Structure 1
Amino acid sequence: MTSLLTGIIAAFRTFPLRSWLILAAVAALLTLGAWLYFAGREDERDDQADRQARVEAKASAGRETAATERTLDTTAIQARQAERDHAAEALPDSAPDERDLRRRCRQLRDAGLDPAACRGLEGPG
């Protein structure tokens, strides 16, 4: 143990005190720089996490707004469809005009049928 202590003292005496102080100052600066570097990286990670949380919150709000608008649009579309259906049901059924009857009879004849209701509607349509 004493030889180890003697060796350390001998190594210390090989360099002047000023060299040891410069070495200690450099070591302190390197330690401080490393600590600041890693602290800065940690702060950057925290900032990135905060930015990500804000973006996700904004996206979530957008998705909620879109879902609400889709629901409102679907409801409005269904209401308009029901209104059209109701209006169509309210219209009275009318008899087809002569031109429409001739067209339908021609389609039946082209299909190979000759119903009795079509006799007498031979003219051009």
Structure 2
Amino acid sequence: METLELIIRISLVLHLLGFAAIMAGVLNETKRFKTGAPVNAGILHGSWLALLTGLIMTGLVYANGEEVNNLVLSIKGLGITGIFFIAYTFAKKDSAPKWVVPTIGLLTVINLAVAVVVGVTA
């Protein structure tokens, strides 16, 4: 296995761990959905990790000469950017509006489903 391929796979593992951290943070706050759950550190740091590794992987896959589905990458990019900005906006507040944490969870599931069902490479 060549070095670039190994770096892409390590980035993918970190990307998935970021999404796992987001989902763990969302599931940790499910009891507070009705009153407005706070955005916890798992959600915020997981969104940072997923966003950063997604950008890195996009560049590395293009550099590796693979064909990618730009529509899927755009949808995933918008999704994780939305997750990050929602999380960052409400991270410092003790309680967020009722829609914030469930929306982050929904966007995370949609983002993962798009990647798995449609696929990123062409």
Q: Normalising by structure 2, what TM-score?
A: 0.26
Question: Which has the greater radius of gyration?
Answer: 1
Structure number with the bigger relative contact order (C-alpha 8 A, sep ≥ 6) is: 2
More helix by share: 1
